[in-house]
A = this chain, B = another copy of it.
Amino acid sequence: MNIDMIRAAAQRLKGHARVTPLLNSPFIDEIAGRRVWIKPECLQHTGSFKFRGGWSALSALDPEVRARGVIGYSSGNHAQGVAHAATLHGVPSVIVMPSDAPTLKIANTKALGAEVVLYDRAGEDRDAIGARIAEERGLTLIRPYDEPQVIAGQGTTGLEIAEQAAAHGVREADVLVCCGGGGLTSGIALALEADAPGLRARPVEPEGFNDVARSLRSGQIERNSRTSGNICDAIISPQPGDITFPIIHRLCGPGLVVSEDDALRAMAQAFLRLKLVAEPGGAVALAAAMCRQDQIEGEDVIVTISGGNVDPDIFARSLQTLS
């Protein structure tokens, strides 16, 4: 896993993934007490950065292997990213989803061209089901984060941040990254190491699901005691990856943690001041900029909004924090 793979992914993504802008608002600067630069990956295809990794992985495959199709396990953004990237490549995709996943997410994944295979979270073994289908049909598994070409794709976000920050004269800043398994965080960290050494990536997680922050403190992989029961579901995973964690450990600053209410308030500010739809997990970095000022260094801070796939009722809850 290295910067050359990220640069190669950037070449393959050119004209296919969106170059998202770098936004700001004087109102958010005021709340945060410093200049806040926002990288809105909610504007990426399929509404999250996951399309970058999906496209990167698909486009890196040998054409004959790719033609047989790909398979992924996901109840959320990775599913949509892989499904859309596969369809645009003209190859089949199978997504294995829990049968209790939100109806809308299942419908979206199908609409983007995937065959959705449902499994019973309680009684069935997801990995066994996926492995059987993959073997029968010769499909290639695309893991959500612990996969070099996926990390390379997510890392293209970091190349863009480096270039856009420099264009605004920002040479030194913390870069707060919404962090689940660490694919986006590790990819951005590698890109910044190469192209913007004054920028330092830092993972941001929801309270109670801070496996990466704890792993950074202890120096070894720590697990979450549970993996559900938080509105920031999109960025909750059991533990940092075997590939992503060593990169995060080597390059990233201390982790930050925010509450569900902090995330809802950040979503409301993204609505009010940036005209962006952020999902709870996608808003934790902005929340940290707003609520953890004393844990951030420097006059500028850069935050990712990693996705915007949120149900209307949860979005409506965020709007209520404004009244």
Q: Enumerate chain A interface residues (CB-CB to B < 8 A).
A: 18-21, 23, 26-27, 30, 40, 42-43, 47, 84, 108, 111-112, 268, 271-278, 308, 312, 315-316, 319-320, 322-323
Tell me the complex Cα distance, A18–B27, Å.
Answer: 17
Tell me the complex Cα distance, A308–B274, Å.
Answer: 9
Q: Which residue of B lies closest to A323 (CB)?
A: B312
The one of B26, B27, B308 in contact with A275, judged by C-beta atoms closer than 8 angstroms, is B308
**Contact: A271 with B312, CB < 8 Å?**
yes
Chain B proximity of A300: nearest CB distance (Å): 17
**Contact: B43 with A275, CB < 8 Å?**
yes
Q: Which residue of B lies closest to A42 (CB)?
A: B275
The one of B47, B84, B275 in contact with A277, judged by C-beta atoms closer than 8 angstroms, is B275
Of A27, A40, A276, A315, the most chain B CB neighbours within 10 A belong to: A276
Chain B proximity of A28: nearest CB distance (Å): 12
Residues of B within 8 Å of A278, CB to CB, are: 275
Residues of B within 8 Å of A43, CB to CB, are: 21, 23, 274-276
Q: Which residue of B lies closest to A108 (CB)?
A: B27
Chain B proximity of A87: nearest CB distance (Å): 9
Chain B proximity of A261: nearest CB distance (Å): 17
Tell me the complex Cα distance, A315–B111, Å.
Answer: 26
Q: Which residue of B lies closest to A23 (CB)?
A: B43
Q: Could you list some 22 contacts between A and B, CB below 8 A?
A: A18-B21, A19-B21, A20-B21, A21-B43, A26-B84, A27-B108, A27-B111, A30-B111, A40-B275, A43-B275, A43-B276, A47-B273, A268-B312, A271-B277, A271-B312, A271-B315, A272-B312, A275-B276, A275-B277, A275-B308, A312-B319, A315-B319
Tell me the complex Cα distance, A20–B275, Å.
Answer: 13
The one of B273, B276, B277, B316 in contact with A316, judged by C-beta atoms closer than 8 angstroms, is B316
Tell me the complex Cα distance, A84–B278, Å.
Answer: 25
Q: Which residue of B lies closest to A30 (CB)?
A: B111
Tell me the complex Cα distance, A258–B228, Å.
Answer: 43
